[in-house]
């Protein structure tokens, strides 16, 4: 990590981030409403001109305001200089690109600020649904200024878990809700109590997880890798070993069941 320095107050960072995401939301809506041009990346995943434009806006705006912070994004070539930064912005400019391209409403702009590898603020904006989720370390999670709380009390047998059929089978569940939503939005829905848990055993990228990680934890839940370990972001490797996000007791039930299968 870099040498000790004067770190800006998180409230100032949050204000800067909110302004940047609001501007990005306006820009994204313009592309979404007219139908963005799109193409496939080398890994076969889709990307659109909206993804690129939003990424550039966030990168330029946040970089201008906080030139000493690092940057990690799905749509920017990785710069190892971030590894020496104590604070790092991490962004998924359009999470849910397929839905964005198709004209659906379940896409979002996801941004978090990391400090020493852990998120200290997060914003997930869903412009097409006029929803903004905000979390700040130690200050709770909110949707449009309404405080969020995970839906606690359900055990594994009755819980509504978002996962693939193969994962649900390992958990002893025959049905459930498949992973259709953008990952950041899946985690926000857990934070607000609309669903109980999200589970994945395949690797996930840092930018898919960091904003929702803080959102769920600030709403009273737990988030970890598929083997129960807490996330540490901004490492050289930008992927994590799966995901479990749920209220505390259910989280432990899921960890125990996956370890046993």
pLDDT tens readout for residues 14-28: 999 999 999 999 999
- 3-class secondary-structure state, position 166: helix
Report percent pLDDT > 70 for the chain: 96
pLDDT higher than 90, residue 179: no
State in words which class domain 10-147 has.
alpha beta
Confidence of residue 174 (pLDDT cuts 50, 70, 90): confident
Mean of pLDDT over the chain: 94
Alpha helix ranges (H) inside the chain? 10-34, 49-65, 97-102, 165-170, 183-191, 206-218, 248-260
pLDDT of residue 154: 86
pLDDT tens readout for residues 86-125: 999 999 999 999 999 999 999 999 999 999 999 999 999 9
pLDDT of residue 4: 40
Contact 233/243 with Cβ under 8 angstroms? no
pLDDT tens readout for residues 39-51: 999 999 999 999 9
Give kind and range of the element (H or E) at residue 197: strand 197-200
pLDDT of residue 10: 94
**Using CA atoms in the order 179, 251, 137, 96, what is the torsion angle rounded to 10 degrees?**
0
Exposed/middle/buried for residue 178 (C-beta within 10 Å: 0-12, 13-18, 19+) = exposed
Q: Enumerate the domain spans of the chain.
A: 10-147, 161-260
pLDDT of residue 81: 97
pLDDT of residue 8: 75
Instruction: Count Cβ atoms below 10 Å from residue 202 Cβ, excluding itself.
Output: 11
pLDDT higher than 60, residue 2: no
Domains 10-147 and 161-260 share a fold: no
Q: pTM for the full model?
A: 0.94
pLDDT higher than 50, residue 164: yes
pLDDT of residue 251: 97
pLDDT higher than 80, residue 141: yes
pLDDT of residue 56: 98
Confidence of residue 209 (pLDDT cuts 50, 70, 90): very high
Domain 161-260 is found in CATH 3.40.50.150: no
pLDDT higher than 70, residue 6: no
**Residue 80 to residue 99: CA distance in whole angstroms:** 31
């Amino acid at each position: 990590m870099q040498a000790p320095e004067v770190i800006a107050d998180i409230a100032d960072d949050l204000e800067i981030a909110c302004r940047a995401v609001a501007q990005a939301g306006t820009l994204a809506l313009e592309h979404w409403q007219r139908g963005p041009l799109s193409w496939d990346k080398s890994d076969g995943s889709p990307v659109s001109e909206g993804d690129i434009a939003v990424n550039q806006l966030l990168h330029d705006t946040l970089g201008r305001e906080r030139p000493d912070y690092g940057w990690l994004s799905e749509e920017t070539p990785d710069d190892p200089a971030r590894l020496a930064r104590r604070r790092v912005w991490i962004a998924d400019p359009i999470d849910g690109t397929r839905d964005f391209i198709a004209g659906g409403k379940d896409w979002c702009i996801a941004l978090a600020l990391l400090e020493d590898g852990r998120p200290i603020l997060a914003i997930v904006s869903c412009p097409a649904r006029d929803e903004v989720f905000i979390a700040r370390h130690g200050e709770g999670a909110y949707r449009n200024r309404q405080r969020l709380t995970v839906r606690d009390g359900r055990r594994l047998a009755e819980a509504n878990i978002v996962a693939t059929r193969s994962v649900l089978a390992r958990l002893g569940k025959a049905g459930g809700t498949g992973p259709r939503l953008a990952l950041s939005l899946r985690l926000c829905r857990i934070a607000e109590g609309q669903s109980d848990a999200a589970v994945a055993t395949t690797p996930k990228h840092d930018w898919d997880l960091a904003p929702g990680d803080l959102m769920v934890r600030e709403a009273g839940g737990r988030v970890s890798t598929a083997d129960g370990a807490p996330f540490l972001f901004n490492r050289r490797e930008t992927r994590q070993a799966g995901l479990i996000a749920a209220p505390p007791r259910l989280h432990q039930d899921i960890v125990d069941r996956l370890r046993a299968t």
